[in-house]
Amino acid sequence: MSAKSDIKVPEHVAIIMDGNGRWAKARGLPRLAGHRAGTKNLRRIIRAAAAMGIKHLTFYAFSTENWNRPEDEISGLMQLLAEFIETEIQELHKEGARLLHIGHLDGLGPVLKKKVEDAIELTKNNDRIDVVLAFNYGGRDEIICAVKKLIEAGTPSDAVNVQSMSEAMFTAGLPDPDLVIRTSGEMRLSNFLTWQTVYSEWAFPHVYWPDFTEDHLKQIIEDFSKRERRYGGLSKK
């Protein structure tokens, strides 16, 4: 997708990385092998998105509901996050990526929490692309936290509106997603960016996340570019 292309590139793309377990099962591998393959795909898609001119890329990596999974799978996912930061953050930093986190870091344990915080600090001045990791994140939880934040700040009821709520969210300062992609063909929101996606466009490619490629991303963006976003208004066509 060249700079001269007339394709309308979304500013913010959010991705639900679904299908790692089924990818592994289809190959007779343990679920963690699917998560590892999915983690390797992160770097490829981040690089492709940056080259396309996408400015904000959010990944749904671990939900607040994922704590209900088997303990060994949870432990493996935490280890994969640590490995991703250890092996990829320096290259992402050189390439101008800024790492952000939404959700709760406190549940990750002190060592992993420190790794994430250090990576955020290292990349804080980069501006080519924001890589936002939604880890230990839930959309309903985020809304509840935002309401509590406003209450604790003594916000009067007549000052509680879309703007004040948005500013109290984990995603404050980021634009709402223009496009949400959920791989694997499943068609659910799954408690992801519940507040922010009310006017997002959606795509549900029938491919598991480890097999999702730059070509898939390009095709989805080309399709997105043809859509008319009306935000509740009437068509201009």
Catalytically active residues, by annotation: 18, 66
Q: Give the ranges where 53-195 is alpha helix by DSSP (H).
A: 71-94, 110-122, 139-152, 162-168
Q: Chain centroid to CA 217: how far? A: 14
Phi and psi at 117, nearest 5°, equal: -60, -40
Inter-axis angle of helices 214-225 and 31-52, nearest 10: 50
Burial letters for 194-231: b for 16+ Cβ neighbours within 10 Å, e otherwise? ebbbeebbbbbbebbbbebeeebbeebbeebeeeeeee
CA angle, 159 then 163 then 167, to 5°? 105
Burial letters for 138-164: b for 16+ Cβ neighbours within 10 Å, e otherwise? bbebbeebbeebbeeeebeeeeeeeee
Pairwise CA distance, residues 190 & 139, whole Å: 9
Structure token pair of residue 212:
């999702």
Phi and psi at 31, nearest 5°, equal: -55, -40
Pairwise CA distance, residues 96 & 175, whole Å: 19
